[in-house]
Structure 1
Amino acid sequence: MLVWERPEPPDRPVPAPLSRDLIVRTAVELADEAGLESVSLRKLAGALDVGPMRLYGYIDTKDELLDLMVDAVHAEIRPAGDGWREVLTSVAEATRRAVHRHEWFADLIGGRPQLGPNALARGEAVLAALGGVDVDIVMPVVTAVDAYVIGAVRREIAEWRAERATGLDKRQWQKTFGPYLERTFATGRFPALETVVRDGAHLDADETFRIGLGFLLDGIGAGIEAGRPESTRQQGDHPPG
Protein backbone atom coordinates (compact mmCIF):
# COMPACT_ATOMS: atom_id res chain seq x y z
CA MET A 1 0.00 0.00 0.00
CA LEU A 2 1.37 3.42 -0.96
CA VAL A 3 2.18 5.91 1.76
CA TRP A 4 -0.71 8.12 0.65
CA GLU A 5 -3.19 5.34 1.47
CA ARG A 6 -1.51 3.73 4.48
CA PRO A 7 -3.09 4.66 7.82
CA GLU A 8 -0.93 6.12 10.57
CA PRO A 9 -0.31 4.27 13.82
CA PRO A 10 -2.57 5.16 16.76
CA ASP A 11 -1.49 8.40 18.44
CA ARG A 12 0.85 7.94 21.39
CA PRO A 13 1.11 11.02 23.61
CA VAL A 14 4.34 9.81 25.20
CA PRO A 15 7.27 10.07 24.96
CA ALA A 16 6.36 12.67 22.31
CA PRO A 17 3.28 13.13 20.10
CA LEU A 18 3.96 12.25 16.49
CA SER A 19 2.16 12.30 13.16
CA ARG A 20 3.05 11.93 9.52
CA ASP A 21 2.31 15.63 8.99
CA LEU A 22 4.67 16.64 11.81
CA ILE A 23 7.40 14.39 10.42
CA VAL A 24 7.08 15.93 6.96
CA ARG A 25 6.97 19.52 8.21
CA THR A 26 10.10 18.92 10.27
CA ALA A 27 11.88 17.30 7.33
CA VAL A 28 11.00 20.28 5.12
CA GLU A 29 12.39 22.66 7.76
CA LEU A 30 15.64 20.67 7.94
CA ALA A 31 15.99 20.68 4.15
CA ASP A 32 15.23 24.41 3.97
CA GLU A 33 17.94 25.13 6.51
CA ALA A 34 20.70 22.83 5.30
CA GLY A 35 19.70 21.03 2.09
CA LEU A 36 18.56 17.51 1.36
CA GLU A 37 21.79 16.05 2.71
CA SER A 38 20.62 17.12 6.18
CA VAL A 39 17.50 14.95 5.91
CA SER A 40 18.27 11.53 7.30
CA LEU A 41 15.99 9.45 9.47
CA ARG A 42 18.52 9.73 12.30
CA LYS A 43 18.66 13.53 12.15
CA LEU A 44 14.93 13.75 11.71
CA ALA A 45 14.34 11.58 14.75
CA GLY A 46 16.71 13.77 16.73
CA ALA A 47 14.85 16.93 15.70
CA LEU A 48 11.57 15.30 16.78
CA ASP A 49 13.08 13.94 20.01
CA VAL A 50 12.00 10.38 19.27
CA GLY A 51 13.82 7.16 18.53
CA PRO A 52 14.55 6.47 14.84
CA MET A 53 12.60 3.22 14.92
CA ARG A 54 9.44 5.09 15.86
CA LEU A 55 9.48 6.85 12.48
CA TYR A 56 9.01 3.54 10.69
CA GLY A 57 5.44 3.42 11.91
CA TYR A 58 4.77 6.39 9.63
CA ILE A 59 7.21 5.96 6.73
CA ASP A 60 8.96 2.87 5.43
CA THR A 61 11.84 4.43 3.48
CA LYS A 62 13.60 7.72 2.89
CA ASP A 63 12.16 7.74 -0.64
CA GLU A 64 8.68 7.80 0.88
CA LEU A 65 9.73 10.74 3.04
CA LEU A 66 11.01 12.63 0.00
CA ASP A 67 7.74 11.95 -1.84
CA LEU A 68 5.81 13.36 1.12
CA MET A 69 8.06 16.43 1.25
CA VAL A 70 7.57 17.12 -2.44
CA ASP A 71 3.82 16.79 -2.07
CA ALA A 72 3.87 19.20 0.86
CA VAL A 73 5.49 21.82 -1.38
CA HIS A 74 2.91 21.10 -4.09
CA ALA A 75 0.31 22.40 -1.65
CA GLU A 76 1.91 25.83 -2.12
CA ILE A 77 1.47 25.69 -5.92
CA ARG A 78 -2.12 26.75 -6.47
CA PRO A 79 -3.32 27.46 -10.03
CA ALA A 80 -5.25 30.70 -10.45
CA GLY A 81 -6.85 32.72 -13.23
CA ASP A 82 -9.32 32.24 -16.04
CA GLY A 83 -8.41 30.30 -19.15
CA TRP A 84 -5.50 28.08 -20.01
CA ARG A 85 -2.90 30.83 -20.43
CA GLU A 86 -3.52 32.51 -17.08
CA VAL A 87 -3.60 29.18 -15.29
CA LEU A 88 -0.38 27.90 -16.86
CA THR A 89 1.31 31.23 -16.12
CA SER A 90 0.19 31.13 -12.50
CA VAL A 91 1.41 27.54 -12.07
CA ALA A 92 4.79 28.35 -13.63
CA GLU A 93 5.28 31.40 -11.43
CA ALA A 94 4.04 29.64 -8.28
CA THR A 95 6.42 26.72 -8.93
CA ARG A 96 9.33 29.13 -9.30
CA ARG A 97 8.41 30.87 -6.04
CA ALA A 98 8.19 27.50 -4.29
CA VAL A 99 11.70 26.63 -5.47
CA HIS A 100 12.97 29.97 -4.18
CA ARG A 101 11.49 29.13 -0.77
CA HIS A 102 12.67 25.50 -0.84
CA GLU A 103 15.91 25.31 -2.83
CA TRP A 104 16.06 21.52 -2.48
CA PHE A 105 12.75 21.23 -4.36
CA ALA A 106 14.58 21.94 -7.61
CA ASP A 107 16.49 18.67 -7.19
CA LEU A 108 13.33 16.57 -6.92
CA ILE A 109 10.82 17.98 -9.39
CA GLY A 110 10.82 16.50 -12.85
CA GLY A 111 11.57 12.98 -11.66
CA ARG A 112 9.05 10.21 -11.24
CA PRO A 113 5.37 11.18 -11.42
CA GLN A 114 4.06 12.76 -8.24
CA LEU A 115 0.97 10.95 -6.96
CA GLY A 116 0.35 12.71 -3.66
CA PRO A 117 -2.97 14.44 -3.02
CA ASN A 118 -1.58 17.96 -3.41
CA ALA A 119 0.20 17.14 -6.67
CA LEU A 120 -2.92 15.47 -8.02
CA ALA A 121 -5.05 18.48 -7.03
CA ARG A 122 -2.62 20.78 -8.83
CA GLY A 123 -2.77 18.57 -11.92
CA GLU A 124 -6.56 18.41 -11.83
CA ALA A 125 -6.85 22.21 -11.67
CA VAL A 126 -4.47 22.67 -14.59
CA LEU A 127 -6.16 20.05 -16.77
CA ALA A 128 -9.60 21.43 -15.96
CA ALA A 129 -8.44 24.85 -17.21
CA LEU A 130 -7.33 23.14 -20.42
CA GLY A 131 -10.69 21.48 -20.88
CA GLY A 132 -11.25 23.21 -24.22
CA VAL A 133 -7.98 21.90 -25.64
CA ASP A 134 -7.91 18.69 -27.69
CA VAL A 135 -7.36 15.82 -25.26
CA ASP A 136 -4.55 14.43 -27.44
CA ILE A 137 -2.37 17.52 -26.95
CA VAL A 138 -3.19 18.44 -23.36
CA MET A 139 -0.31 16.47 -21.84
CA PRO A 140 2.31 17.72 -24.35
CA VAL A 141 1.21 21.28 -23.51
CA VAL A 142 1.51 20.73 -19.75
CA THR A 143 4.78 18.83 -20.17
CA ALA A 144 6.28 21.65 -22.25
CA VAL A 145 5.49 24.23 -19.58
CA ASP A 146 6.76 21.97 -16.80
CA ALA A 147 9.99 21.34 -18.73
CA TYR A 148 10.53 25.08 -19.23
CA VAL A 149 9.97 25.83 -15.55
CA ILE A 150 12.15 22.97 -14.32
CA GLY A 151 15.02 23.96 -16.60
CA ALA A 152 14.76 27.63 -15.66
CA VAL A 153 14.65 27.12 -11.90
CA ARG A 154 17.42 24.54 -11.92
CA ARG A 155 19.64 27.01 -13.76
CA GLU A 156 18.83 29.70 -11.21
CA ILE A 157 19.60 27.38 -8.31
CA ALA A 158 22.85 26.29 -9.97
CA GLU A 159 23.88 29.95 -10.20
CA TRP A 160 23.04 30.52 -6.54
CA ARG A 161 25.10 27.50 -5.52
CA ALA A 162 28.01 28.60 -7.68
CA GLU A 163 27.96 32.02 -6.01
CA ARG A 164 28.06 30.40 -2.58
CA ALA A 165 30.83 28.00 -3.60
CA THR A 166 33.06 30.63 -5.22
CA GLY A 167 32.10 33.69 -3.20
CA LEU A 168 31.59 35.59 -6.46
CA ASP A 169 28.28 37.25 -7.29
CA LYS A 170 27.34 37.90 -10.91
CA ARG A 171 29.10 41.28 -11.07
CA GLN A 172 32.26 39.92 -9.46
CA TRP A 173 32.23 36.92 -11.80
CA GLN A 174 31.98 39.22 -14.82
CA LYS A 175 34.87 41.32 -13.54
CA THR A 176 37.01 38.22 -12.96
CA PHE A 177 36.34 36.57 -16.32
CA GLY A 178 35.78 39.67 -18.42
CA PRO A 179 39.42 39.93 -19.59
CA TYR A 180 39.34 36.31 -20.75
CA LEU A 181 36.22 36.98 -22.84
CA GLU A 182 37.80 40.12 -24.30
CA ARG A 183 40.81 38.11 -25.44
CA THR A 184 38.57 35.35 -26.80
CA PHE A 185 36.36 37.75 -28.74
CA ALA A 186 39.46 39.45 -30.16
CA THR A 187 40.22 36.25 -32.09
CA GLY A 188 37.14 36.88 -34.24
CA ARG A 189 35.95 33.29 -33.83
CA PHE A 190 32.71 34.13 -32.02
CA PRO A 191 31.12 37.17 -33.70
CA ALA A 192 27.50 36.27 -32.95
CA LEU A 193 28.24 35.61 -29.30
CA GLU A 194 30.24 38.82 -29.03
CA THR A 195 27.35 40.85 -30.46
CA VAL A 196 24.90 39.43 -27.96
CA VAL A 197 27.24 39.94 -25.00
CA ARG A 198 28.15 43.50 -25.97
CA ASP A 199 24.87 44.79 -27.42
CA GLY A 200 22.09 42.59 -26.07
CA ALA A 201 19.89 43.52 -23.12
CA HIS A 202 21.21 42.13 -19.84
CA LEU A 203 18.00 40.94 -18.23
CA ASP A 204 17.61 39.83 -14.65
CA ALA A 205 16.28 36.39 -13.73
CA ASP A 206 12.69 37.59 -13.31
CA GLU A 207 12.62 39.24 -16.74
CA THR A 208 14.31 36.28 -18.41
CA PHE A 209 11.80 33.84 -16.91
CA ARG A 210 8.79 35.97 -17.80
CA ILE A 211 9.84 36.62 -21.40
CA GLY A 212 10.79 33.01 -22.07
CA LEU A 213 7.50 31.76 -20.63
CA GLY A 214 5.62 34.26 -22.78
CA PHE A 215 7.31 32.99 -25.94
CA LEU A 216 6.45 29.41 -25.00
CA LEU A 217 2.80 30.23 -24.32
CA ASP A 218 2.56 32.19 -27.58
CA GLY A 219 3.70 29.08 -29.42
CA ILE A 220 1.27 26.88 -27.53
CA GLY A 221 -1.56 29.26 -28.39
CA ALA A 222 -0.63 29.20 -32.07
CA GLY A 223 -0.48 25.41 -32.01
CA ILE A 224 -3.88 25.12 -30.33
CA GLU A 225 -5.42 27.47 -32.87
CA ALA A 226 -3.84 25.67 -35.83
CA GLY A 227 -5.25 22.39 -34.62
CA ARG A 228 -8.84 23.59 -34.39
CA PRO A 229 -11.18 22.51 -37.20
CA GLU A 230 -12.15 25.35 -39.53
CA SER A 231 -15.82 24.84 -38.74
CA THR A 232 -15.26 25.78 -35.08
CA ARG A 233 -13.58 29.11 -35.86
CA GLN A 234 -15.53 32.32 -36.01
CA GLN A 235 -14.71 35.47 -37.92
CA GLY A 236 -12.21 37.49 -35.93
CA ASP A 237 -11.43 34.50 -33.71
CA HIS A 238 -7.98 34.65 -32.07
CA PRO A 239 -5.81 32.07 -30.34
CA PRO A 240 -6.84 31.37 -26.71
CA GLY A 241 -5.26 33.56 -24.04
Structure 2
Amino acid sequence: MADKPRDPGVSIWVRPPRAPRRGSAPTGLSRDRILRAATDLLDAEGVEAFSMRKLAAALDVTPMSVYWYVDNKDELLELALDTALGEMRVDPLAEDAADGDWREHLRLLVHEYRNCFARHPWAAQLAGRYLAIGPNAVAFNTSAVGTLRRTGLEGERLMAALGLVLQFAYGYALVEAQWLGRVKASGRTEDELGLDIRGIAEQADSWYAENADLQPGDDGMAAARERQFEAGLDLALAGIAAAAAAAR
Protein backbone atom coordinates (compact mmCIF):
# COMPACT_ATOMS: atom_id res chain seq x y z
CA MET A 1 0.00 0.00 0.00
CA ALA A 2 1.53 3.27 -1.11
CA ASP A 3 1.48 6.16 1.36
CA LYS A 4 -0.71 9.12 0.50
CA PRO A 5 1.13 12.45 0.12
CA ARG A 6 0.54 14.60 3.19
CA ASP A 7 0.27 18.36 3.55
CA PRO A 8 3.38 19.49 5.53
CA GLY A 9 1.12 21.69 7.65
CA VAL A 10 -0.97 18.73 8.81
CA SER A 11 -0.36 16.90 12.07
CA ILE A 12 -1.80 13.68 13.43
CA TRP A 13 -2.53 15.60 16.62
CA VAL A 14 -4.99 17.96 14.92
CA ARG A 15 -6.21 16.00 11.91
CA PRO A 16 -9.96 15.68 11.27
CA PRO A 17 -11.48 12.40 12.49
CA ARG A 18 -10.98 9.75 9.85
CA ALA A 19 -13.68 7.47 8.55
CA PRO A 20 -14.23 4.30 10.64
CA ARG A 21 -12.33 1.25 9.44
CA ARG A 22 -14.33 -1.60 8.04
CA GLY A 23 -14.09 -4.94 9.81
CA SER A 24 -12.36 -5.61 13.13
CA ALA A 25 -8.95 -4.51 14.41
CA PRO A 26 -6.05 -6.94 13.82
CA THR A 27 -5.71 -9.43 16.66
CA GLY A 28 -2.79 -8.91 19.05
CA LEU A 29 -1.84 -5.53 17.64
CA SER A 30 -2.09 -2.10 19.26
CA ARG A 31 -0.73 1.39 18.69
CA ASP A 32 1.62 1.00 21.67
CA ARG A 33 3.03 -2.27 20.34
CA ILE A 34 3.51 -0.71 16.89
CA LEU A 35 5.32 2.30 18.37
CA ARG A 36 7.63 0.14 20.49
CA ALA A 37 8.58 -1.88 17.42
CA ALA A 38 8.97 1.26 15.30
CA THR A 39 11.27 2.84 17.89
CA ASP A 40 13.41 -0.30 18.05
CA LEU A 41 13.64 -0.44 14.27
CA LEU A 42 14.50 3.26 13.99
CA ASP A 43 17.18 2.87 16.68
CA ALA A 44 18.68 -0.07 14.80
CA GLU A 45 18.48 1.15 11.20
CA GLY A 46 17.73 4.88 11.18
CA VAL A 47 15.12 6.92 9.33
CA GLU A 48 16.48 6.33 5.84
CA ALA A 49 16.20 2.55 6.06
CA PHE A 50 12.86 2.55 7.86
CA SER A 51 9.81 1.30 5.98
CA MET A 52 6.32 0.14 6.82
CA ARG A 53 7.09 -3.26 5.30
CA LYS A 54 10.09 -3.72 7.61
CA LEU A 55 7.96 -2.68 10.55
CA ALA A 56 5.24 -5.13 9.61
CA ALA A 57 7.83 -7.90 9.30
CA ALA A 58 9.22 -7.07 12.76
CA LEU A 59 5.69 -7.32 14.15
CA ASP A 60 4.99 -10.50 12.14
CA VAL A 61 1.87 -8.96 10.59
CA THR A 62 0.88 -7.72 7.16
CA PRO A 63 1.52 -4.07 6.23
CA MET A 64 -2.23 -3.57 5.96
CA SER A 65 -2.53 -4.41 9.67
CA VAL A 66 -0.27 -1.46 10.55
CA TYR A 67 -2.35 0.86 8.36
CA TRP A 68 -5.35 0.05 10.54
CA TYR A 69 -3.79 2.35 13.17
CA VAL A 70 -2.14 5.05 11.02
CA ASP A 71 -2.89 6.39 7.57
CA ASN A 72 0.72 6.63 6.41
CA LYS A 73 4.37 6.53 7.40
CA ASP A 74 4.40 10.25 8.20
CA GLU A 75 1.80 9.73 10.90
CA LEU A 76 3.75 6.84 12.36
CA LEU A 77 7.01 8.81 12.44
CA GLU A 78 5.27 11.77 14.07
CA LEU A 79 3.94 9.46 16.77
CA ALA A 80 7.37 7.83 17.18
CA LEU A 81 8.97 11.26 17.67
CA ASP A 82 6.60 12.14 20.49
CA THR A 83 7.13 8.68 21.99
CA ALA A 84 10.88 9.34 22.12
CA LEU A 85 10.30 12.76 23.70
CA GLY A 86 8.20 11.01 26.34
CA GLU A 87 11.37 9.43 27.76
CA MET A 88 12.51 12.80 29.10
CA ARG A 89 12.05 13.27 32.85
CA VAL A 90 9.83 16.33 33.00
CA ASP A 91 7.25 15.95 35.78
CA PRO A 92 9.65 15.06 38.64
CA LEU A 93 11.82 18.02 37.69
CA ALA A 94 8.85 20.34 37.47
CA GLU A 95 7.71 19.36 40.96
CA ASP A 96 11.08 20.41 42.38
CA ALA A 97 11.28 23.62 40.38
CA ALA A 98 9.23 26.00 42.50
CA ASP A 99 11.78 26.39 45.30
CA GLY A 100 14.95 25.64 43.36
CA ASP A 101 17.37 27.61 41.22
CA TRP A 102 15.98 28.08 37.71
CA ARG A 103 19.48 27.53 36.33
CA GLU A 104 19.75 24.03 37.78
CA HIS A 105 16.26 23.07 36.69
CA LEU A 106 16.91 24.32 33.17
CA ARG A 107 20.27 22.52 33.15
CA LEU A 108 18.54 19.25 33.99
CA LEU A 109 15.96 19.77 31.26
CA VAL A 110 18.65 20.53 28.69
CA HIS A 111 20.48 17.34 29.67
CA GLU A 112 17.25 15.38 29.23
CA TYR A 113 16.83 16.93 25.77
CA ARG A 114 20.36 16.13 24.70
CA ASN A 115 20.23 12.58 26.09
CA CYS A 116 16.95 11.87 24.30
CA PHE A 117 18.45 12.73 20.92
CA ALA A 118 21.70 10.94 21.77
CA ARG A 119 19.72 7.74 22.45
CA HIS A 120 17.58 8.23 19.34
CA PRO A 121 19.52 10.06 16.61
CA TRP A 122 16.61 9.50 14.21
CA ALA A 123 14.43 11.67 16.48
CA ALA A 124 16.85 14.55 15.97
CA GLN A 125 16.38 14.13 12.21
CA LEU A 126 12.59 14.22 12.61
CA ALA A 127 12.53 17.30 14.84
CA GLY A 128 11.47 20.16 12.61
CA ARG A 129 10.26 17.82 9.89
CA TYR A 130 7.17 17.18 11.99
CA LEU A 131 5.27 19.49 14.31
CA ALA A 132 6.35 18.85 17.91
CA ILE A 133 2.88 19.43 19.38
CA GLY A 134 2.16 15.99 20.81
CA PRO A 135 1.46 15.51 24.54
CA ASN A 136 5.05 14.69 25.48
CA ALA A 137 6.43 17.67 23.57
CA VAL A 138 3.87 19.94 25.24
CA ALA A 139 4.78 18.55 28.69
CA PHE A 140 8.45 19.33 28.11
CA ASN A 141 7.74 22.80 26.73
CA THR A 142 5.45 23.57 29.66
CA SER A 143 8.23 22.73 32.13
CA ALA A 144 10.93 24.58 30.20
CA VAL A 145 8.87 27.74 29.61
CA GLY A 146 7.66 27.73 33.21
CA THR A 147 11.27 27.59 34.37
CA LEU A 148 12.35 30.47 32.14
CA ARG A 149 9.41 32.63 33.24
CA ARG A 150 11.03 32.68 36.68
CA THR A 151 13.91 34.67 35.19
CA GLY A 152 11.58 37.56 34.40
CA LEU A 153 12.06 37.20 30.64
CA GLU A 154 8.93 37.39 28.51
CA GLY A 155 7.75 36.95 24.95
CA GLU A 156 10.36 36.75 22.23
CA ARG A 157 13.23 37.20 24.70
CA LEU A 158 12.06 34.15 26.62
CA MET A 159 11.71 32.13 23.42
CA ALA A 160 15.17 33.24 22.34
CA ALA A 161 16.59 31.98 25.63
CA LEU A 162 14.77 28.67 25.24
CA GLY A 163 15.98 28.30 21.65
CA LEU A 164 19.54 29.09 22.71
CA VAL A 165 19.85 26.19 25.15
CA LEU A 166 17.72 23.68 23.26
CA GLN A 167 19.36 24.28 19.88
CA PHE A 168 22.74 24.00 21.58
CA ALA A 169 21.75 20.63 23.04
CA TYR A 170 20.13 19.50 19.78
CA GLY A 171 23.15 20.41 17.66
CA TYR A 172 25.56 18.85 20.11
CA ALA A 173 23.60 15.59 20.21
CA LEU A 174 23.25 15.46 16.42
CA VAL A 175 26.98 15.94 15.74
CA GLU A 176 27.84 13.58 18.59
CA ALA A 177 25.63 10.85 17.12
CA GLN A 178 27.24 11.27 13.69
CA TRP A 179 30.70 11.06 15.22
CA LEU A 180 29.91 7.98 17.32
CA GLY A 181 28.42 6.33 14.23
CA ARG A 182 31.70 6.93 12.45
CA VAL A 183 33.60 5.48 15.39
CA LYS A 184 31.45 2.35 15.35
CA ALA A 185 31.89 1.92 11.60
CA SER A 186 35.69 2.25 11.94
CA GLY A 187 36.01 -0.70 14.32
CA ARG A 188 38.30 1.38 16.54
CA THR A 189 37.84 3.05 19.87
CA GLU A 190 36.87 6.69 19.94
CA ASP A 191 40.31 7.75 21.15
CA GLU A 192 42.09 5.62 18.55
CA LEU A 193 40.08 7.12 15.71
CA GLY A 194 40.52 10.60 17.18
CA LEU A 195 44.31 10.23 17.19
CA ASP A 196 44.29 9.01 13.59
CA ILE A 197 42.14 11.93 12.47
CA ARG A 198 44.29 14.38 14.41
CA GLY A 199 47.38 13.10 12.58
CA ILE A 200 45.66 13.49 9.23
CA ALA A 201 44.48 17.01 10.13
CA GLU A 202 47.94 18.11 11.20
CA GLN A 203 49.31 16.93 7.86
CA ALA A 204 46.60 18.88 6.05
CA ASP A 205 47.18 22.20 7.82
CA SER A 206 49.65 23.49 10.41
CA TRP A 207 46.81 25.23 12.27
CA TYR A 208 45.96 22.00 14.10
CA ALA A 209 49.49 21.49 15.41
CA GLU A 210 49.75 25.16 16.38
CA ASN A 211 46.59 24.86 18.45
CA ALA A 212 47.36 21.58 20.19
CA ASP A 213 46.06 23.00 23.49
CA LEU A 214 42.54 22.68 22.09
CA GLN A 215 42.82 18.89 21.82
CA PRO A 216 41.18 16.53 24.36
CA GLY A 217 43.00 15.90 27.62
CA ASP A 218 44.60 12.69 28.82
CA ASP A 219 41.25 11.35 30.06
CA GLY A 220 40.01 10.90 26.51
CA MET A 221 37.54 12.29 24.01
CA ALA A 222 34.36 11.19 25.80
CA ALA A 223 35.32 13.08 28.96
CA ALA A 224 36.34 16.10 26.87
CA ARG A 225 32.94 16.08 25.13
CA GLU A 226 31.18 16.18 28.48
CA ARG A 227 33.34 19.04 29.76
CA GLN A 228 32.76 21.03 26.60
CA PHE A 229 29.03 20.51 26.78
CA GLU A 230 28.89 21.62 30.41
CA ALA A 231 31.12 24.62 29.72
CA GLY A 232 28.99 25.67 26.76
CA LEU A 233 25.82 25.28 28.79
CA ASP A 234 27.37 27.31 31.63
CA LEU A 235 28.04 30.15 29.18
CA ALA A 236 24.50 29.98 27.80
CA LEU A 237 22.94 30.05 31.28
CA ALA A 238 25.19 32.94 32.30
CA GLY A 239 24.07 34.84 29.20
CA ILE A 240 20.41 34.23 30.01
CA ALA A 241 20.95 35.38 33.60
CA ALA A 242 22.69 38.55 32.40
CA ALA A 243 19.92 39.30 29.90
CA ALA A 244 17.28 38.78 32.59
CA ALA A 245 19.12 41.07 35.01
CA ALA A 246 19.44 43.79 32.36
CA ALA A 247 15.71 43.61 31.61
CA ARG A 248 14.66 44.27 35.21
1:117 aligns with 2:126: no
CA contact (8 A) 1:11 1:18 kept: no
The alpha-carbon deviation at position 127 of structure 1 amounts to 1.4
1:144 is the counterpart of 2:164: yes
Q: Which residue of 1 aligns with 2:246?
A: 226
Residue aligned with 2:88, SS:
coil
Count of aligned positions: 225
Pairing of 1:87-236 with structure 2 (within 5 A): 87-132=105-150, 133-136=152-155, 137-181=157-201, 183=203, 193-197=211-215, 203-228=223-248
Matched residue of 1:35: which SS? Answer: helix
- Match for residue 13 of structure 2 among 4, 10, 13: 4
In the superposition, the TM-score normalised over structure 1's length comes to 0.79
Cα displacement string for residues 25-48 of structure 1 (whole angstroms, at most 9, x for unaligned residues): 110011123322443111111222
Q: How far apart in 2 are the matches of 1:101 and 1:190?
A: 31
Unaligned runs of 5+ in 1: 229-241
In the TM superposition, 1:9-48 aligns within 5 A as 12=24, 16-48=27-59
The question of 1:70 aligning with 2:70 is answered no
Displacement of 1:153 in angstroms is 0.5
Distance 1:146 1:223 in 2: 17
Q: Structure 1 stretch 71-80 or stretch 192-201: which is displaced more?
A: 192-201
Q: Which residue of 2 aligns with 1:235?
A: none
Return 5+ residue gaps in structure 2 as ranges: 1-9
Query: 1: distance between equivalents of 2:63 and 2:217?
Result: 58
The amino acid across from 1:4 in the alignment is W
Residue 201 of structure 1: how far off its partner (Å): 9.3
What amino acid sits opposite 1:16 in the alignment? T
Give the secondary structure class of the aligned counterpart of 2:245.
Answer: helix
RMSD: 3.0
Which shifted more, 149-158 or 54-63?
54-63
1:123 CA drift (Å): 0.8
In terms of mean alpha carbon deviation, does 126-135 or 59-68 score higher?
126-135
- Residues 1:52 and 1:116: Cα distance change in structure 2 (over 3 Å): same
Say if 2:62 is the partner of 1:51.
Answer: yes
Q: How much has 1:191 moved relative to structure 2?
A: 7.5
Query: Whose relative contact order is higher, 1 or 2, with alpha carbons under 8 Å and at least 6 apart?
Result: 2
Query: Deviations for 1:182-203, whole angstroms, at most 9, x for unmatched residues?
Result: 5567x5x668624434999975
Alpha-carbon separation, structure 2, partners of 1:124 and 1:184:
48
- Check 1:200–1:144 CA distance in 2 against 1; reply closer, same or farther (3 A cut): farther
1:232 corresponds to: none
For residues 76-97 of structure 1, the C-alpha deviation after alignment (integer angstroms, 9 at most, x for no partner) is 1133142432232111111222
Contact 2:148 2:162 in 1 (8 A): no
Measured after TM superposition, the shift of residue 160 of structure 1 is 0.5
- The 1:103/1:190 distance shift into structure 2, 3 A limit, reads closer
